[in-house]
Chains A and B, each alone.
Chain A
Amino acid sequence: MSEYQYILKTEHLGKSFGSLEVLKDVNLEVKKGEVICIIGPSGAGKSTYLRSLNQLEKITSGKIYLKDELFLHREHNRTVHKSTPEKQKAMLLEMGMVFQRFNLFPHKTVLENVMLAPTLVRKKTKAEAKALSIKLIERVGLSSKLNEYPSKLSGGQQQRVAIARALAMEPEIMLFDEPTSALDPELVGEVLNVMKDLAKQGMTMLCVTHEMGFAKEVADRVVFMADGMILEEGAPKELFEHPKNEKAANFLKSVL
């Protein structure tokens, strides 16, 4: 097996925007290859949690471990421990992120969108990056759109390009921040299919999602978050059918 126990672990993660406490105390352990779906009512801090893993938000307090190594430790908005900048960068590159609003680069074609970061950040040659990108774009089923600009694509296609773009950095963990929430209902399926494929191939995934069907089918574990805390976690079947927490029960009743 792997040389580490957990690929990602957070302890007592807290995040406040001013006086608003979005994350109170989030503890989560993720093993390599696990698919975890995070569900919960809006305002629960699901997205903020995902974003703070990727350093898009600076956490107020708590510890983040990557591969059992302390990556960041902050208390009362002060950094207690931080790995070296080189290590930080390398570790952040282990995480790919897919956004709700795709955030493709509109002035670059599909191929350029996917190629850009591998050439700039991973310092691959143009040819290497191109070969890799074409392979990934094929994997998300968009080979025919290589030279289109994102504005010419449907939402579902754009999100698939965004997934390919994140995969091009060859991350070990993929973070999905409500990847299907901005899509028309008929386009949701194609994005979920790509994500299912990814899960099958053993990618470690953290998905914030409102697609309960997807969570039930694909997730190894479902995490219910509310009020900045994880209130319940467990196998999807158990959590969906016999939620122990009252809030989780209410939430599931309203969405299922």
Chain B
Amino acid sequence: MNIIKKAVRIKEWQRSSKIAAIVIIVIIAVFIGLSLLQLSEEEMMNYASDDVKQMIEEERDSTRKHLTITYNDLGVISYLSFTTSGAAAIKESYVCFLGQVYKADEGAGKLTGQMVNYTYRMLGKGENVLHGVKLTLLLTTASVLIGFIFSIFLALGKIAKNKIISKICSAYIFFFRGTPLLIQLFVVYFSIPGIFGFAWRDLFDTADTEAVYKGAFVAALIAFSLNTAAYCAEIVRAAIQSIDKGQHEAAKALGMSYAQTMSQIVIPQSIRRMIPPLCNEFVMMIKDVSLVFAISLMDITTISKNIMTSEGSYLVFIPALIIYLIITAIFTYIFNKIEIRLSVYE
């Protein structure tokens, strides 16, 4: 509730927050403004050549269509293409920008059209959450969140006085930091079902065409969570141990138990110190998630690689890089804000 109350008092905002808010509002406004100028799919269809129009007309009621229509709307810019396979191949494409329709069959127009099409596919638009950027974001946040919570127990275990618990936690951390993430992913995805005689897709209704993706997602989530927990545990441990010994002594002298000391005194103070390395880990994870291409989950990397192999377009990686860069920038900004917020008492 406090956050909402603070957010409403705009006058008390920090200068940087105001600027950020203005920038975001301007971007949204420009986006909405530009998208109002956009033509709809039907309006763009009118620009098609007579051949194509005729073909659309012919195939309207037939079930077997030769003509493939692709329409990609990115809000401020959209792309429409008609392709047929076979002898008399038709290939026509159009780009609509600022309410104007341009032919996109060659030169700069073709390049723009391709980029719109690739970006559209990598953003996973028109697909469910297991595609493109959505998959990358979901997998990263979910596994870092699960891994972080798990890592607190690992870190407390590693610094515990009980030798057995400490050794087990140390061994876990050593193992997951000492082996490649890709192989860990393979072990979870291939070996574990192999050993125990099941398949990840069995977790879901196998009649569902997406069951394979869903199963792979669960496997990836498990592998990444286990892996990032080991890295986060070292971050958490270092932060906890960086808290002055005097804090433990003061709490003990006041009669507080170990659990109370940790939960009330040490961990709250160490959270702020964890934020910069955790941000690092998160950004690393965004990029590590691209390893799911090895188990054919359709994240940004897999989609861009598929486009590369199927269409031979070597420029597909440029939008891929830009998308990754934007995600990283947003999360770095968020983590910086959290760090400042948690520093109030220093």
Contacts and interface: CB of A to CB of B under 8 A. Distances in A.
Given A106-B269, A107-B269, A117 B249 contact: no
A198 to B, nearest CB: 17
A213 B282 CA distance: 58
A121 interface: yes
A157 to B, nearest CB: 15
Nearest to B265: A105
A120 B247 contact: no
Interface residues of A, number: 28
B256 interface: yes
B244 interface: yes
Contact of B254 (A55, A106, A151, A169): A169
Contacts of A99: 246, 249-250, 253
Interface stretch (A33-41, A64-72, A89-97, A243-251): A89-97
A150 B253 CA distance: 19
Contact of A56 (B244, B253, B346): B253
Interface residues of B, number: 18
B254 A165 contact: yes
Contacts of B346: 106, 151
Interface string A89-131: 1001101110101011111100000001100110000000000
A11 B320 CA distance: 75
B254 A117 contact: yes
A105 B250 contact: yes
B345 A169 contact: no
Given A116-B264, A149-B345, A151-B346, A103 B246 contact: yes
Interface string A9-38: 000000000000000000000000000000
A159 to B, nearest CB: 12
A93 B246 CA distance: 18
A96 B269 CA distance: 23
Contacts of B312: none
A120 B265 contact: no
A92 B249 contact: no
User: What 5 pairs between A and B have smallest CB-CB spacing?
Assistant: A103-B250, A117-B254, A103-B246, A97-B253, A149-B345
Interface of A: 54-56, 89, 92-93, 95-97, 99, 101, 103-108, 116-117, 120-121, 149-151, 162, 165-166, 169
18 contacts: A55-B252, A56-B249, A56-B252, A93-B255, A96-B253, A99-B250, A101-B246, A105-B250, A105-B269, A107-B268, A116-B254, A117-B255, A117-B256, A121-B255, A149-B344, A149-B345, A165-B254, A166-B254
Given A93-B255, A166-B254, 15 more contacts: A56-B253, A97-B253, A99-B246, A99-B250, A99-B253, A101-B246, A105-B247, A105-B250, A105-B269, A106-B345, A117-B255, A120-B256, A121-B254, A121-B255, A151-B346
